[in-house]
Amino acid sequence: MTPGRIISRKILGGSSYNMERTVKEDDHVFVVIDNKRRFLIKTSPKEILGTDKGFIKHDDLIGMSIGSYVRTSRGAKAYILEPLLQDFVRGYKRATQIIYPKDAGFLIYLSGIGPSSIVVEAGVGTGCLTTALAHFVGPKGKVYGYDIDEEHLSIARENLEKSGYLDRVILKNKDIREGIDEKNIDAVFLDLPDPWNVIDHAYDALKPSRTLLIYVPTINQVEKTVLAIKEHGGFIDIKSYEILLREYIVEKGAVRPHTLMVGHTGYIIFSRKVLKV
């Protein structure tokens, strides 16, 4: 254990701290009381985390082992954790409808991106997909995030600061329908009302073989987008998907799915650039 060691957020996902890591000042920690009471905080002397289950003094957290718990002023157990990808996204301030983990995981798997990839995304919105992209491209990768709304970008920047991924992201207040500045891109992700207006630009930006991933909420947008991609002629493997996630309640002798579920988020359109000869 190295008490004074600074844990840079840049190495999240890595393995550079040992198992007895303790909380420091200015540390991003994730405080979990129960399924609904989950707080992403930055420890700061004299600060207090207030909850309806009692409060916690930040000072009491400093020096605690990651993975242990404290008691709130009202006696509730609160685990002190290192935040993971899904925790950042839950703790984010929201500007727009977000892309859910079930969809983000599939989008990223299909895209083929990984450590060191260079990707383009529009629009950024709340920055949830941006965070997942930044997470997976790692410190040597780069995410170029376009949005026409300055306020969205400002919320996204604040959110990305929390997750420690801001240095891998270039936020651009630009209408992607007017063009993509970058070339040689590994994947383009579009979450826009009219992705059909960006197909041409995505083609120009992408490396051959590489992927265009589009996320839209209505079936009409799926149709219009797929027809535009087909007409463009420079993409193959055009596929349209929908992901449904069911969560189960598991009690001894009484296993069943949750009564309510999210029945719809959006559709995913995949395609892949080839050379038009």
How many residues sit in the footprint of a copy of itself (CB under 8 A)? Answer: 101
- Residue 160 one-letter amino acid: L
- What is the rounded CA–CA span in Å between residue 260 and residue 256? 12
Region binding a copy of itself by CB under 8 A among candidate stretches 40-48, 49-57, 149-157, 219-227:
219-227
Which residue type sits at 57?
Answer: K
**Binding-site member from 110, 148, 170, 228 for a copy of itself (CB under 8 A):** 110
Least gap, CB of 150 to a copy of itself (angstroms): 27
3-class SS at 52? strand
Q: Strand pairing of 28-32 and 77-81?
A: antiparallel
Return the residue of 113, 124, 199, 202 that touches a copy of itself, per CB under 8 A: 113
Q: Nearer Cβ to a copy of itself, position 153 or 165?
A: 165
State the virtual CA torsion across 26, 32, 33, 39 in degrees, nearest 10.
60
Identify residue 21 by its one-letter amino acid code. Answer: R
Q: φ, ψ for residue 176 (rounded to 5)? A: -65, -20
Per CB under 8 A, contacts with a copy of itself among 117-176 are: 117-118, 132, 135-141
Q: Does 6 bind a copy of itself (CB under 8 A)?
A: no
Task: Single out the segment in contact with a copy of itself by CB under 8 A; choices: 51-59, 147-155, 171-179, 209-217.
Answer: 209-217
DSSP 88-125: HHHHSPPSSPPPPHHHHHHHHHHHT--TT-EEEEE--T
How near is the Cβ of 195 to a copy of itself at its closest, in Å?
14
Looking at residue 235, its amino acid is F
Q: What is the DSSP letter of 64?
A: P
CB of 259 to a copy of itself, least distance (A): 5
**CA neighbours closer than 13 Å in the CB half-sphere of residue 115:** 4
Q: Which of residues 70-99 bind a copy of itself (CB under 8 A)?
A: 79, 81-86
- Beta carbon of residue 238, minimum distance to a copy of itself (angstroms, whole number): 8
CA 198 → CA 5, 121, 230, distances in Å?
46, 11, 13
- Single out the segment in contact with a copy of itself by CB under 8 A; choices: 41-49, 51-59, 110-118, 152-160: 110-118
The residue (of 12 and 156) whose beta carbon lies closer to a copy of itself is 12
Q: Choose between 28 and 172: whose C-beta lies nearer to a copy of itself.
A: 28
Among 4, 6, 15, 36, binds a copy of itself (CB under 8 A): 15
Residue 95 Cβ vs a copy of itself, minimum distance, rounded to whole Å? 18
Q: How is residue 200 written in tokens?
A: 């041409």
| 62 and 41 Cβ atoms separated by less than 8 Å | no
Nearer to a copy of itself, 47 or 194 (CB): 194
Minimum distance from CB of 46 to a copy of itself (Å)? 25
Least distance from C-beta 47 to a copy of itself, angstroms? 21
Inter-residue contact 197 to 177 (CB < 8 Å):
yes
